[in-house]
């Protein structure tokens, strides 16, 4: 009843309409063609080509090493698969922090070379000049506040952010700054649910939470985490919708057994 699967194509305007009428936005990460096809077929509203690809696709400990070229490769793979979902791509660490011209050049490369619909950037006041410049070029921007993994070396830890008044006040100010700048929405990552609810109430644009409670306009999870592929990451906010770790290990074991016992290929599976 709440799923707009019949809508032709999700745009940033559709997300705004969803917020206005109280329909929640469902967003998941996606990094490759085959997964993106499944996500789109299932009716996901937004696919985020997250820089979490650095972790779950490339095995890095943080999101910092992934490059602009690598993000464009993932983004174009996803874009080729998608008919309906809005595709948003993370600007990777180092592609926009230098200055607003560099930020605009990075955003233009993502849009030109992958054909996606929008980009996401981590930060508030510090990056507003870059956001302004990118928006002036007609590129939609999704903000990202709270736990911003590209700043892990400043934070030193992945614990809940903005539990202290000073950080919470800055986050509220940043949310208004992103809204005023013209962002079409913002991700709120790992902050107290009450703070996320207050921010959601205070801005007109959609908020998408991850570890931010349910009084936000939508939710996002990392695909590999919600599918249970990755079993060693178990934060409180994560709900696993499958145990693909077990399913895949069982399939691999069965294949190994069949090859070793010469059960595979059978008569019917050869020419």
Which residues are known catalytic residues? 189
Give yes or no for a contact between 189 and 148, defined as CB atoms under 8 angstroms apart: yes
Which helix (H) or strand (E) element contains residue 176?
Answer: helix 165-181
Burial of residue 154 (number of CB atoms within 10 Å: 0-12, 13-18, 19+): exposed
Which residues in 135-194 contact ligand KIV (CB under 6 A)? 187, 189
Burial of residue 144 (number of CB atoms within 10 Å: 0-12, 13-18, 19+): buried
DSSP secondary structure string for all residues of 235-262: -TT---S--HHHHHHHHHHHHHHHHHTT
Backbone angles phi, psi at 156, to 5 degrees: 80, -10
Helices (H) and strands (E) in the chain, counts: 11, 8
- Which one of residues 23, 40, 45, 90 is an interface residue with ligand KIV (CB under 6 A)? 90
- Which one of residues 52, 117, 130, 207 is an interface residue with ligand KIV (CB under 6 A)? 52
- Is residue 219 a contact point for ligand KIV (CB under 6 A)? no
Which residues in 185-214 contact ligand KIV (CB under 6 A)? 187, 189, 210
Which residue intervals of 22-164 are DSSP H helices?
Answer: 33-42, 53-56, 68-81, 100-114, 128-136, 152-155
Query: Measured from the CB of residue 143, what is the shortest distance to ligand KIV in angstroms?
Result: 11
Query: Measured from the CB of residue 112, what is the shortest distance to ligand KIV in angstroms?
Result: 22
Query: Measured from the CB of residue 145, what is the shortest distance to ligand KIV in angstroms?
Result: 11
Give yes or no for a contact between 107 and 137, defined as CB atoms under 8 angstroms apart: yes
CA distance 261 to 77: 37
Cβ neighbours around 16 below 10 Å, total: 16
Query: Measured from the CB of residue 57, what is the shortest distance to ligand KIV in angstroms?
Result: 11
Q: Which is nearer to ligand KIV, 77 or 253 (CB)?
A: 77
CA distance 223 to 55: 12
Q: How far is CA 113 from CA 73, 106, 200, 216, 268, in A?
A: 9, 11, 33, 32, 44
Report which residue's Cβ sits closest to ligand KIV: 50
- Which one of residues 10, 75, 95, 220 is an interface residue with ligand KIV (CB under 6 A)? 220
CA distance 270 to 264: 10
Q: Which stretch binds ligand KIV (CB under 6 A): 44-52, 98-106, 172-180, 238-246?
A: 44-52
Which residues in 13-32 contact ligand KIV (CB under 6 A)? 29
Interface mask toward ligand KIV for 92-131; x: CB under 6 A: ----------------------------------------
Query: Measured from the CB of residue 251, what is the shortest distance to ligand KIV in angstroms?
Result: 26
Q: Which is nearer to ligand KIV, 58 or 259 (CB)?
A: 58
Site size toward ligand KIV, by CB under 6 A? 11
Chain residues that interact with ligand KIV, rule: CB under 6 A: 29, 48, 50-52, 90, 187, 189, 210, 220, 222
């Amino acid at each position: 009843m709440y799923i707009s699967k019949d809508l032709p194509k999700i745009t940033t305007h559709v997300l705004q309409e969803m917020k206005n009428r109280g329909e929640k936005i469902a967003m998941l990460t996606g990094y490759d063609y085959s997964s993106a096809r499944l996500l789109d077929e299932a009716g996901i509203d937004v696919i985020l080509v997250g820089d979490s690809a650095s972790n779950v696709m490339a095995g890095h400990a943080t999101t910092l090493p992934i490059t602009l070229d690598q993000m464009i490769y993932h983004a174009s793979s996803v874009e080729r698969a998608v008919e309906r979902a809005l595709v948003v791509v993370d600007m990777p660490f180092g592609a926009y922090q230098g200055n607003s011209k560099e930020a605009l050049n990075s955003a233009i490369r993502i849009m030109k070379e992958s054909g996606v619909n929008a980009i996401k950037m981590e930060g508030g006041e510090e990056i507003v000049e870059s956001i302004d410049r990118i928006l002036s070029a007609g590129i939609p921007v999704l903000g990202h506040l709270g736990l911003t993994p590209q700043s892990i070396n400043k934070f030193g830890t992945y614990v809940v952010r903005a539990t202290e008044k000073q950080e919470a006040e800055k986050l509220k100010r940043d949310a208004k700054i992103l809204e005023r700048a013209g962002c079409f929405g913002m991700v709120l990552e790992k902050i107290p649910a009450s703070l996320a609810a207050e921010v959601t109430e205070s801005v007109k644009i959609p908020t998408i939470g991850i570890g931010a409670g349910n009084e936000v306009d939508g939710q996002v999870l990392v695909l590999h985490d919600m599918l249970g592929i990755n079993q060693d990451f178990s934060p409180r906010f994560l709900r696993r919708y499958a145990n693909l770790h077990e399913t895949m290990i069982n399939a691999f074991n069965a294949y190994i057994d069949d090859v070793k016992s010469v059960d595979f290929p059978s008569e019917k599976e050869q020419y």
